[in-house]
Each structure stands twice: as C-alpha cells, then as structure tokens.
Amino acid sequence: MKYKITAFVFLLLMTASARAQQSAKNNLPRIAIAGIAIESSTFSPAHTDEAAFHAQYGQDLLKVYPFLSNDSPMLQRAVWIPTLGGHALPGGAVTRKAYESLVNKTLDSLKKHLPYDGLFFDIHGAMSVTGLDDPEGDFIVRIRKVVGTKTIISTSMDLHGNVSWRLAANTDLITCYRMAPHEDAMQTKERAVENLLQRIESGKGKPKYKAYVSIPILLPGEKTSTRIEPGKSIYAAVAPASVQPGVVDAAIWIGYAWADEPRNHAVVMVTGDDEATVKKEATQLAKRFWDLRNDFVFVAPTGTLEEALTKALASKVHPYFISDSGDNPTAGGAGDVTWTITEILKNLAFSKADGPSLIYASIPGPELVKKAIAAGIGNAVDGYAGAAVDARFAPPVHLAGTVTSIEYGDKDAEVEVVVKVGSVYVIVTQKRKPYHKEIDFTRLGLQPRKADIVVVKIGYLEPELFAMRADWLLALTPGGVDQNLERLPFKRIQRPMFPFDKNMKTPDLSAKLVPVSGK
C-alpha cells in the first residue's frame, strides 16, 4: 500500500512537472533558423547547383551550431524551429533554379510553423545568382512576406558579404565576423542569436536605430586580413563601438570584390536604441576605414609565378609556400584552372624524380582519378586533368607519372589521388576541394613540412598552413578571383570607387538611418 501511495504521489508530481515544463515551453519565444551561404564570383565561368549547398533540414540543422547543442543553456531559452540551412564552397554564380528551389523550400517550411518571435538569418552575403541582383536582399523580403513584420530578424554574415539597403531595411539586428581569417565565425553566429534572445526576453524588441554608412572602397580579402595593419586596427575598433551604452552591435563589411553589382563595396552598420551614439560610432568606424585606405597591401609579398618559383628554389628555408591566388576556390575561383601547374611542369628544375620536391594542391580531374585507380598505387598513369570549367588561361594539363596515393571518402573531393611527375606531387581530385589543413596532406601520405615547396590554390594562408610555412609568396596568377582587381572587367559597381578611380574626393561618410522593418 505504502508503495502504491508513493507511486501515486510520484505520478502526480511527474504530471505536474511535465505540465510545468510544457507551460514554461509555451512561454518561451519561438525562433526560426534559415539561410544559405556561398561566395560566388561573377568573373568565373563556373555555376553552382543545389547539391553544392549540402542543405540540412529541420532538427539536423541545429547540429551545425555548437552553441545550440543538447546540453547548451541557450537551447533551453527558446523553442527552435530550424528550417533549411546550407553552406556551399565558394564558386561560380548559383543557378536561378537552385536558388529558387532552396528559397521555396525554406519558405514552405517557415509557413508550416508560424508564428515566430524571432528568426536567425544565417547567410554569407556574397551569393551571386544568375539573372538576379542582391539575392540575400530578395531572400529576406520573401521571408518577411511569410513571417510578417513583427518577427525580429537577426542576420549573421561574413565580413566579405555585401549589405544592400534592402537587406539592412528588412533585418532588425545585423552583424558580421570581426576576424579574417574567420576564426570568430561561430562566435559571431552565437552573438547574433544572443542579441536576438536578449531583445525578445527583455521585451525591448527591435532596436530603434540602424545606422548605415556606405564606403566607396572595394578591396580583395588578401589585402584586408585583420592580422596585420590597417585591417587590424580598423577591426579592433568594432568591439569597443559595440559595447557603448545604447548600442547593440557594430560591424564592418569589407564586401566581396569578385562580383559586379552596385552593392559590392564596404559598409558599416551600428544598431541600438540611442540615435546619436549609433550614428556617431558608425561614422567613426567608416571614417577610420576611409582614412587608412591607402595603407592596404597584400598580406604576403606578391609576385608573378615565375618570381615565386625562382625565390622558392633559391630559398634556404623550407617549406616555401606559394599561393596560386587567382583560382582560389575558397574565394570563388573555379578551382580547375591549369595555368599554374602547367607552368610548374614546364620548369626544368622539377623534371627529375630527385629534384626539389613540390606539392601541388590541387586540380580536379575525374577521368585521371579513374585511370589512377585502375593503375593502382606505385604504377604509371597518363592522362589529363583540369580546365573542364575554366579553360580561359590554359587547356587541361597533361600528367604522366606515378600514382603514390589513392584516398576515398572526403566530403568535398570524394576521391583524391596523388600523381608524382618528376619531383612534383600533384593532388588530383574527383571534385574540387580546398587544402587548408595539415591533415589534408598527411592523409594522402604527403609531408608538407618536409617538402621544399608547397603550392596551394588559396589566397592568404589558413592558420595551420601559415604556422607551417618557413616562407611564403602570394603569386598573382590568373583565374576567376584574380587578386589584381584592376584587371577585372567591372561595369556595374558604383563609381567613383577606391582604388579604381584615382584622386577621389572625400565621400559623404555620415551615417544614414535605415527604416525599422515594417515601418
């Protein structure tokens, strides 16, 4: 009997606690998550399709955010409604079909779970879509049509994204990374969500003011690392500006240099409830940026490929890194330009097997991958790779050498093989893949630390490669993301624009107030 009573009381308590939990849940804000991210070059002949986004749906999307993991306190503060999220490697313009499909799937999912107190809009901001200007601005307008104007939208972006007036007008909170390379990417997304939660929980709602300054500057990412001046001090001023009384967040966008639209330029935004402070902080951040514009230089010494190879061969320290920067796939290059590897293989210094070792990362070549698999490790292979997408600078490269490695299962490359030609180890992939980490090389049996020269399709070196380099030169090679912007055929960006137009007058850097969404 005693046990029965205890069990009965226990059951009652359980029900009460479940009810309490349910009612607490009913009081929690409802927050949707949506957004797709890509950086896409309109100067590349490549196109990006839907599969490239590796879209995640519903609860699977939550796993992308460590700050919303099962045991995280943040998870308990809202009812989360993740819809669709996707992240593609940079590339060519997204096809209209892929864009419409991803947007419509997002909108359909949003319609099913209305209403929302908040929406976390997680985007990059440099997506180009064939035949459509300002896709992120278009996307947020279509989201607004579904969720209405009461929902508070918090947008998180890459500092290489573009902020059109339309995007600024339809979002309520907005921020971007403060570090390049983007070591603070997840921290930025978490801040965007934290700000959203705080505005909802405190009942303060949308910030009253959004100050916006358009800065007529367009620079490549490889000149604007926050590790060195002047990017370092320009970005160091963002956090202090964001903690001023009356300010919610502050951000500076460098913008994306390889798309040709009126929105491609630098922007500063500061949001908050104190009109005078948000305007003052935005103007100051913009002014510092403008005043230091002439100090931006490439983050590494630059030169032609020929100069880079000559210096690397003469260098006393190794590994000597060379960035094949014009075809950097993580900036939007096709990633299959063969110009650089063709030039390297022409260089007699590398023609013998015991010559100076050079690792080349990488070139897509599905046909050659097949041949290498058929030949097997240790055997000879002969075939062509690259230039399937971007053949403007060189035709497919002829590789005749020995297969030294075959690896399966990489998320991006799918299959990777290494072909040794002379003293050059060429990484050939089934699909394009960026090589940013030491393990990307060691898993293929390559030892970049012991190599004489490592050539990577990349701009500035990612942290692990940067730490490994004995010396480094950024080669100004041709491709869809040519670092020499003045060689690119811009037609639609706003003019005058630094550094294209010489002797520019000081532009109007006063902060404009963007209307609060729905007003």
Peptide bond before residue 66 is cis, with ω within 30 degrees of 0: no
Closest approach of Zn ion to the CB of residue 441, in Å: 23
Residue 30 touches Zn ion, criterion: CB under 5 A: no
Which element (helix H / strand E) includes 298? none
- Closer to Zn ion by CB, 181 or 230: give it: 181
Shortest Å, Cβ 501 to Zn ion: 25
> Look-up: residue for tokens 């046909």?
367
For the CB of residue 135, give the shortest distance to Zn ion in the complex, in Å. 17
DSSP element (H, E) containing 278 = helix 275-291
Between 160 and 265, name the residue whose CB sits nearer to Zn ion.
160
Candidates 47, 157, 51; CA nearest to 480 is 47
From 15-23, 88-96, 154-162, 359-367, give the range in contact with Zn ion by CB under 5 A.
Answer: 154-162
The answer for residues whose C-beta is within 8 angstroms of residue 519's C-beta and 6 or more apart is: none
The secondary structure element, H or E, covering residue 154 is strand 152-157
CA pair distance 299, 483, nearest whole angstrom? 12
Residue 462 interacts with Zn ion (CB under 5 A): yes or no: no
**Shortest distance (Å) from residue 257 CB to Zn ion:** 11
160 binds Zn ion (CB under 5 A): yes
- Residue 147 or 157: the one with the smaller Cβ distance to Zn ion is 157
CB of 225 to Zn ion, least distance (A): 11
Instruction: Determine the size of the site formed for Zn ion (CB under 5 A).
Output: 2
The residue type of 364 is: P
Q: By C-beta, is 224 or 342 nearer to Zn ion? A: 224
Q: Please report how close the Cβ of residue 23 comes to Zn ion at its closest, in angstroms.
A: 43
Q: Detail the DSSP E strand segments found in 11-123.
A: 30-37, 40-41, 47-48, 56-57, 79-87, 91-94, 118-122
Write down the H helix ranges in 381-508: 438-442, 463-468
**Is residue 222 involved in binding Zn ion (CB under 5 A)?**
no
Nearest-CB residue for Zn ion: 160
Choose between 254 and 372: whose C-beta lies nearer to Zn ion: 254
- Tell which residue, 73, 151, 87, has the closest CA to residue 113: 151
Q: Which of 362, 457, 470, 501 is nearest to 419 (CA)?
A: 362
Q: Which stretch binds Zn ion (CB under 5 A): 15-23, 158-166, 360-368, 479-487?
A: 158-166
Return the number of the residue (160 or 210) whose C-beta is nearest Zn ion: 160
Site membership for Zn ion, residue 158 (CB under 5 A) = yes
Shortest reach from residue 455's CB to Zn ion, in Å: 22
User: Which residues in this chain contact Zn ion in the complex, by CB under 5 A?
Assistant: 158, 160
